[in-house]
Each structure stands twice: as C-alpha cells, then as structure tokens.
Amino acid sequence: MTTPVLEVKNLAKQYGTVQAVNGISFSIKQGTCFGLLGPNGAGKTTALEVIEDIIAPTSGEVLYNGAPKTASFREEIGIQFQHTSLLNFMTVRETIVTFQKLYKETERIEHLVESCKLSDILGQMNNKISGGQAQRLMLALALINKPKLIFLDEPSTGLDPQSRRYLWEIIRGIQEKGKTIVLTTHSMDEAEYLCDTIAIMDQGRIIARGSPAELIDRYCEGGTITLPRENISLPLTELPFPYRETNGRLEIMVDQINTGVEQLLAMKINLSDMTVHSPDLEDVFLNLTGKKLRD
C-alpha cells in the first residue's frame, strides 16, 4: 500500500472552552486534491493551520510521508493564505524575486510566471493589480520553493466568476503535474470542480467524507422537476409524485430525472419552461446539517 502524503490522526485544537477542531482524522494520497468543506466557523481554517505547523495542536498528530513532521516540513510545503498583505511599493516581479531569496531551492521565475499567468502584470505595483491577479500572484509565491504538497485556504474568495474559473484552471493544471493539494473552501462549485476527495466539517468535526459523486449518491435521493402550474391541466392529485407549489410553479420530486420526465410526457403534460435540479454538494451539506453554507 502506498504511504499517504499526509495523515491526520485524532487532531484536536481547543481555545479555552471552544473546541475549534474536535478529533478529526483523514489521509491524503499523492497527486490528489483533498477538500475541507464547510461553512464559516466549521473549523477548517484552524485545522489547516495546525496541519501546516503554524499553530500547535491540543492533541493528535500529523504524519508527513509516513513519519512525524520535522523542521524541514515548512521548507517542503507551499501555502497560499486566505489573506496576505503585499508591499505596495514593490512590483509583481520584485515580490517574486524577494520571496525566492527566502528558500534554498526555488522554481524559475519564468516557470512561475507561465504557470500562474502573470506575464502581463510583472511590472505593475502590487497595489495596482486586481483581486484575481493578486490571487494568482499568491499562488505563484506558494509554488516558489517547488513544493510537492500545497495548501490553499479559500483561494477564490471574493473573486468574480470569470476570475474564479481562471484560477481553478491554473490549480487543476498544477495538480496534473503530480502535486498534492489540500484545499479549504465553502464554495460547492469550487469543491466539485477541483477535489478528488472531500471531507465536510461542521462544528469542528468531520461529518462526511468521500468523492463528490460518492457523497451525492450516499446522502441525496432523486431530483426536482419544476414547471409552471398552468402547464398541468389535470388535477394535481393525479400526479404520481410528491410536489409543492411555490409562486405559480410546481416543484415535482422524482426518484430519477429521466424516468420522471418520461412519465410526465406519457401523461401529456406540457414540459415547456421546465427546469430540472439534480442533487449536488450543496444538497449534501443541507441534508447533513440543515444549514445554508454561508450562515
């Protein structure tokens, strides 16, 4: 059996009477993207900071390549923090060069610029670049020491949809080169797009774990077909499905979307202006916790 890159065993972190992380355990395979998912306050950022060796655990242990972490651990990992202040009087290139000097072995600037799409902004001052550009610069700084294990703490928070998707493509490209990524996020789209395996945290505990598809299959059933109420001329009691009516539209709950559509067609129901919703990771979270993700 291949030794996991990272193995977390019964990790806990307590601040006074607050149990921020409550005995979590998981392992991460080489070359995969592992997501810690949950709402604000779930404990995922604290867990990441303990794993990264930034703060000490109250109890538990973290193994790196099958052994306890040594002093070289911080030299061998890359971290993109959720919030990092850049010096306004430096350019993007000057910032990369400065960070290079902090490590013994570093990646070529040209490679970082190409990987993180920074060529157009190298001469710009740090305070003149956009949020998406700043996040790509932060990612370049996390890669500067050629890490094989990279931690990303909510990397796309605050970005517009186009910038988010652009950043996701860069992260996926990094993983395809054999890097292992640990990602915290409260974005369902981000987790579903990037992560091979997900652990959902709530109140300091891991409450579910698996691939996106496994979690959806395990914790969700069926889907929803929504139609204008006026499309259905027959009495609603004749529908063979549970339903609810909201704002002039009928939400019909079915076990299988395709089968449900076929049955409605067989009943001569007008399916124009139909929308369908298949279960996703947000449904998984709501089913497990009853909370909205951004509470």
Give me the residue spans of the domains in the chain.
Answer: 6-218, 221-278
Confidence (pLDDT) at 160: 87
Lowest mean pLDDT among 1-5, 196-200, 248-252: 1-5
Domain 6-218, CATH number (from 3.20.20.80, 3.40.50.300, 3.40.630.30, 3.90.79.10): 3.40.50.300
For residue 274, give the nearest of 261, 262, 256, 255 by alpha carbon. Answer: 261
Whether 145 has a pLDDT exceeding 60, the answer reads yes
pLDDT tens digit string along 10-64? 999 999 999 999 999 999 999 999 999 887 788 988 999 999 999 999 999 999 9
Q: Which residues pair with 234 in a beta bridge?
A: none
Whether 83 has a pLDDT exceeding 70, the answer reads no
Give the full edge-to-edge strand order of the sheet including 77-80: 77-80, 149-153, 180-185, 33-37, 197-202, 205-210
Whether 293 has a pLDDT exceeding 50, the answer reads no
pTM of the model: 0.84
What's the chain's average pLDDT?
A: 90
Which helix (H) or strand (E) segment holds residue 278: the answer is none
Confidence (pLDDT) at 287: 84
Confidence (pLDDT) at 291: 56
Q: What average pLDDT does this structure show over 93-120? A: 91
Confidence (pLDDT) at 295: 42
Helix (H, G, I), strand (E, B) or coil at 243: strand
Q: Which residues pair with 254 in a beta bridge?
A: 223
